[in-house]
Amino acid sequence: MQRVVTQYKTLFERAPVLMNAFDRHNRCVLWNAECEKVFGWSRAEIAAHADPLTLFYPDPDERRRVRESVHRSPLKDMYEWHPVRKDGTPLTILWSNILLPDNSILNIGLDITERKKAEQRLAVKATTDDLTGCLNRSAILHQLKMALAVNSRHDPRSHFCVLMFDLDYFKQINDGWGHQVGDAALRHFCDCIRALSPADSLLGRVGGEEFLLLLARGNGEAATRLSARLRTMLSSKPLQVGNKSLVLSFSAGVVEVCLGQRDSSALLTRADKALYDAKRTGRGKTVVASDYL
């Protein structure tokens, strides 16, 4: 390996990809400029460490998987790994770890950290409502279908509750206060829902001033309690518009999902009917579907 490194030293050093090599005694014999730039470690620092892999993979299980990959990976394969920089910053690297006949290891890699971050930002944007920051319609309905797919009457962990919220008098808010205040009202409403909802719940905007909350392991009683707390919060923390306060009100329809239901359309219809009943009887109410079906 040392002979190859010496022969092609200039090529290795100037390569615009990550290239490093370790001999069979785990000594660093190649650490090109790209490695130093991306990882922040110099070759001298790497060489001074008894087990350099611990610098990049603090987790012993991940180190074990990296070592195992060297022995099973043909030259053509590249695997995504998540080493850390000298300063602890996590990276995403595509590595090809090649075991050579003399038991030395040549590693060739591509730093795709920024590309992965960009992909994650696009994925978030594709599923997020721009105005409120909650899930958009397609994303929350997809999550509903996924939750229904694993729902079983025999597994309480799969049970959940659907709350359909509708902000009361929203047209009057838009007409009387202006659309900017209307937008602020929607954001404030969502912020309050998120503040009170369990961490594993999911909130999405299904249209206009209508929102859907998937309350994990919740039932009608839990949904009613959450609604009551939400009304208290909206009353005690009104939306501030200049030197004025705007107290928001909402109606809600609730459906318990605990019988192995699969049909999302039928479930949403029930929630919508419960919501309609809440609005029909004076708004500012929460109606559980089982209460009147």
Q: Is the pLDDT of residue 215 over 70?
A: yes
What whole-number distance in Å separates Cα of residue 74 and Cα of residue 161? 49
Among candidate residues 36, 209, 210, 221, the one labeled active-site is 209
Considering the chain, tell me which residue range(s) the CATH 3.30.450.20 domain(s) occupy: 2-115
Express each pLDDT in 230-283 by its tens digit. 999 999 999 999 999 999 999 999 999 877 778 899 999 999 999 999 999 888
pTM: 0.71
pLDDT digit string (tens) for 188-197? 999 999 999 9
Q: What is the DSSP string of the chain?
A: -HHHHHHTHHHHHH-SSEEEEE-TTS-EEEE-HHHHHHH---HHHHHT-S-THHHH--SHHHHHHHHHHHHH--TT--EEE--B-TTS-B--EEEEEEE-TTS-EEEEEEE-HHHHHHHHHHHHHHHB-TTTSSB-HHHHHHHHHHHHHT--TT-GGG-EEEEEEEETTHHHHHHHH-HHHHHHHHHHHHHHHHHHS-TT-EEEEEETTEEEEEEET--HHHHHHHHHHHHHHHHHSPEEETTEEE---EEEEEEEE-S----HHHHHHHHHHHHHHHHHTTSS-EEEGGGT-
Q: Residues 274, 288: contact at Cβ < 8 Å?
A: yes
Distance of CA 211 to the CA centre of its chain: 20
Active site residue 45: no
Q: Looking at the predicted structure, is the pLDDT value of residue 203 above 50? A: yes
* Band of pLDDT at residue 77, cut at 50, 70 and 90: confident
pLDDT of residue 76: 58
* Band of residue 59 on the pLDDT scale cut at 50, 70, 90: very high
| pLDDT surpassing 70 at residue 291 | no
pLDDT digits (tens, 9 = 90+) for 166-200: 999 999 999 999 999 999 999 999 999 999 999 99
pLDDT band with cut points at 50, 70 and 90 for residue 292: very low
At residue 2, the pLDDT reads 61
How is residue 140 written in tokens?
A: 């929350």
Question: Tens digit of pLDDT for each residue in 1-55?
Answer: 566 666 666 677 778 899 999 988 888 989 999 999 999 999 999 999 989 999 9
CA distance 152 to 138: 24
Kindly indicate whether the domain formed by 2-115 is annotated with CATH number 3.60.90.10. Answer: no
Residues 101-152 have pLDDT tens digits of 888 888 999 999 999 999 999 999 999 999 999 999 999 999 999 999 888 8
Instruction: Tell me the pLDDT band of 68, cut-offs 50, 70 and 90.
Output: confident
Given the candidates 3.20.20.60, 3.30.70.270, 3.40.50.10090, 3.40.640.10, the CATH classification of the domain at 128-291 is 3.30.70.270
